[in-house]
Structure 1
């Protein structure tokens, strides 16, 4: 029964009242998390990591190439600058010679010293004086020519050194740009690996392990060196002794065996153009390259390789079947 003076109730709660009641009863959600995406599964994270590792191979290779280009440009500039310094010294010496000639000429009296010579009563004295004057004139002319030549060479050397310095500056900037990309990639890899609980810091002082495989000759020496690095961290741009990247390790291993190979994977593959072997004919010590030439490893024998894999991992021995990268070929140093 309705009470007089009171509005009649509806049998339903109004929409506004319902929303207010829901706001009171439901737990508050942070605005930013209201539509947060679910975290990726372990499988998805591993798949993302595989993509990052493949991309990192290319970025690190570009970084290494820029580093080698910078070293060459710097070396070229230093060589030309050294030549410029020597040329400066040569020009300075010739300038002193010219001053000495000028002083001698002045002291003789006039350009050729005619006044002194023609006053000599003995004709033989006059002839000797004329001969000396001719020699002086010829010497002075040659000094001037030598000075001119040296000055021109100095100008050329200076111009070459300027060009080399500009080239070195450009490659330094290129190196810094590639390093920034690599640093960003490493942060992404490290974050994902830590989330997966799979980050391995490694030990820069790892004693490694002993190679007992079938290799012989310098191939064995290369593998013995590589095995002694097992457990050390992967480090992009690393050339040891506390950390390695893939091509830094292979270069150092073969250097320990008395064979000089280039620094980067691209250069090692190109260097080995006449030394390539079929993947079906691998021998211990051979260099194995991945598709895209972003990674290189050393064949151990018995279906195994030793390599520096990627950020968050260490130098290790694994089976070739678990390599995880498509292969393009092999080189026998």
Structure 2
């Protein structure tokens, strides 16, 4: 006879587990179906990110330039002090030798006096104090000892100053290395982003930049040439159009922003500081664009990390950033606010 026993029902706990698992599976499947595939950033998005990285790299570049300039200045100062110390030591040795010869002559004649003996065996400062009351020195010996005393003081001061500057130099070199790494890191990040673009996208970006520069050039050339030394600096900058931006460069094959402006004014016979921040502190400040003249220095961003030369009609000539060349550009597309101009 067939069995009529009912099949064993699953426990309530097992039903709950199975139900939960099934719901999770359905949810995951639904999420997978609805999730958008990972999208590659657009050309404009890449450009915006790259421009930001280049701006940060330029900020670090101007700090790098400042540290490099300080290093060069310290090296020159240290070299001068070391030369002074060498000359001073030679003079001191000569003074001591002359005193020694005088003592030797007195010894040979048996007339060496207590004053020379004291000099040869004790500190000149202490001895001069004693000699002033004992009247044991001749006028010539007093003069010689005073010269030795003064030369010793000068040498001690020079050596102390050299030691401090050497410490400052070591600190500056450390800062220089950090800023160089920071710049290189930003540029590497930017290049990595640019590498995500197709050849067609890269060509499109280059074409956009070239078109904008050509339009700015037309506007600038319509403003005419400058005059005086500002005009001479501007004319020289025009001769550098098309040369690439390289951080830390001052020509003649490449430039960064302040490298171009400092070299342009040097070509006009005017020495100005190396960095944009230092250049902002010279001359007469001009806050209205309408008051600017061709060749005036123009500064951008709140920290003044970018500088160019005014080209007229709201245009500038400058070395913008890595990946570009010396070119014309509208002041409104530099990427940061115009702060003021400087007439040198």
Contact conserved, 2:85 with 2:159, CA < 8 A, in 1? yes
Per-residue CA deviation, residues 153-202 of structure 1 (Å, 9 max, x unaligned), is: 211211111111111111111111111111111222233334442698xx
Whole-angstrom CA distance in 2 between matches of 1:302 and 1:162: 53
State the partner residue of 1:186: 187
DSSP 3-state at the match of 1:305: strand
The residue that corresponds to 1:206 in the other structure is: none
- Mapping of residues 308-319 of structure 1, within 5 Å: 308-319=319-330
CA displacement 1:46-66 (0-9 Å, x = unmatched): 111122122122111111111
The answer to whether residue 62 in structure 2 is matched with residue 61 in structure 1 is yes
CA contact 1:189–1:311 (8 Å) conserved in 2: no
**Which residue of structure 2 aligns with residue 306 of structure 1?**
317
Mark the runs of 5 or more structure 1 residues left unpaired by the alignment: 1-14, 16-34, 114-133, 201-208
Q: Counterparts of 1:101 and 1:278 in 2: how far apart (Å)?
A: 75
Deviation at 1:309, TM superposition (A): 0.5
Judging by fraction of residues, say which structure has more helix. Answer: 2
The separation in 1 between residues aligned to 2:245 and 2:97, in whole angstroms, is 59
Q: CA RMSD in A?
A: 3.4
Corresponding residue for residue 284 of structure 1: 294
**Structure-1 separation of matches of 2:113 and 2:71:** 56
Given the alignment of the two structures, is residue 231 of structure 1 paired with residue 242 of structure 2, yes or no?
yes
Range moving further from structure 2, 217-226 or 228-237: 217-226
Aligned residues: 280
In structure 2, the partner of 1:139 is 140
Within the candidate set 212, 226, 229, 1:218 is matched to: 229
How far does residue 320 in structure 1 lie from its aligned partner after superposition?
A: 2.7
Shift of 1:228: 1.1
**Structure-2 separation of matches of 1:68 and 1:59:** 14
Residue 31 of structure 1 is matched in structure 2 by none
Q: Distance in 1 between matches of 2:328 and 2:340?
A: 19
> Which residue in 2 is equivalent to 1:131?
none
Which residue does the alignment assign to 1:329? 340
Return closer, same or farther for 1:135/1:108 CA change in 2, 3 Å cut-off: farther
CA distance in 2, matches of 1:90, 1:276: 54
Q: What residue is the counterpart of 1:84 in the other structure?
A: 85
1:135 Cα shift? 11
Q: TM-score, normalization: structure 1? A: 0.75
